[in-house]
Structure 1
Amino acid sequence: MRIAIGSDHNAFDLKETIKEYLADTDHEVIDFGCHSKDAVDYPDVAFDVSAAISEGNVDRGILICGTGIGVCIAANKYPGIRAALAHDVYSAERAQLSNNAQIITLGAQIIGPEVAKKVVEAYLNVSWAEGSKRKVDKIVEKEQEFVSENFKEAVAGSNCSVN
């Protein structure tokens, strides 16, 4: 599996720890930054990882910031992305099993490195069995409705036309 990973500067050390942990697995890890402890804005990294998933360049993503909340909110703004905050094995498994989340988010100031490894392992070792498909489909439909409406409004305000 191709895994995108990214963090802000607050979570750089935990990102590096998880990368090292995943190096011993069959997964290919692609690092979207940050690449040092120099300050970066977490939405930029979250959008890059989300784009890679949306474009089919990676299978799943792991995003990390101080709490995991900021990167989760940012990733969920990207159309088609479902990101879930996970700080324990059960929530990591359910993120995939119940919600088909393409991304899990972690908080480096909340979770320690050993627990983070177990959370990542749990997330990557399960596959969506469509157990909550009806609910996920409702989320996808609502998102598509909003995206479609916003596109029509944007086009209406331009010189373009929509059939």
Structure 2
Amino acid sequence: MPTENRSSNNEQMVSVPRDEVERLVKLLQYQAHPYPSPHAEFWQGLLDAPVAQHQDEPVAYWVIDEFGQKKVVLPGSETVARGKTRGYAMRPLYFHPPTSDGFSAGDMADQGAKTFREGVKSSADLIQKRMDDYLSEFGAMDPETGSVELPRGGDEYVGELQEIIEAVRALPMPQ
């Protein structure tokens, strides 16, 4: 059941294993009271609601191994591989898509990509300014050759700055 992210709404989303909710419904319907509890209808309503579709790969797995130990492990771990071959009880765990102040996850991803691109450009521009400032402070134009002469080690420093600028500008940009 999604909730709005508003300051007046303090509800939070949680994920629980479906079989645990089913057990709770049965307990409330038949075992906790002489008459079915009204809470059973609420929990059954949650079970009957459409399930959100996950877009990405699981971020982790909840696993019960052959010794009954419960653990949360990362995808690709040895425990997941062993669990698949040995039939451990495993449930994939996913992140819920983030939302903020009515913006969709896509809007936030677009904003993140834009901010990243601007940050990369600003970084390259800052390094370029440092190099230009260094050249104007320490560089001397040779009138015969037209080249800039730098004090000892200055050529290497400027060369390194140029390589860094090129590497930063060559970073892959999100679309």
Is the shorter-chain TM-score for this pair beyond 0.5, marking a shared fold?
no
Q: Which has the larger radius of gyration?
A: 2
The structure whose residues are more often strand, as a share, is 1
Higher relative CO (Cα under 8 Å, sequence separation at least 6) belongs to 1
Normalised by the length of structure 1, the TM-score is 0.22
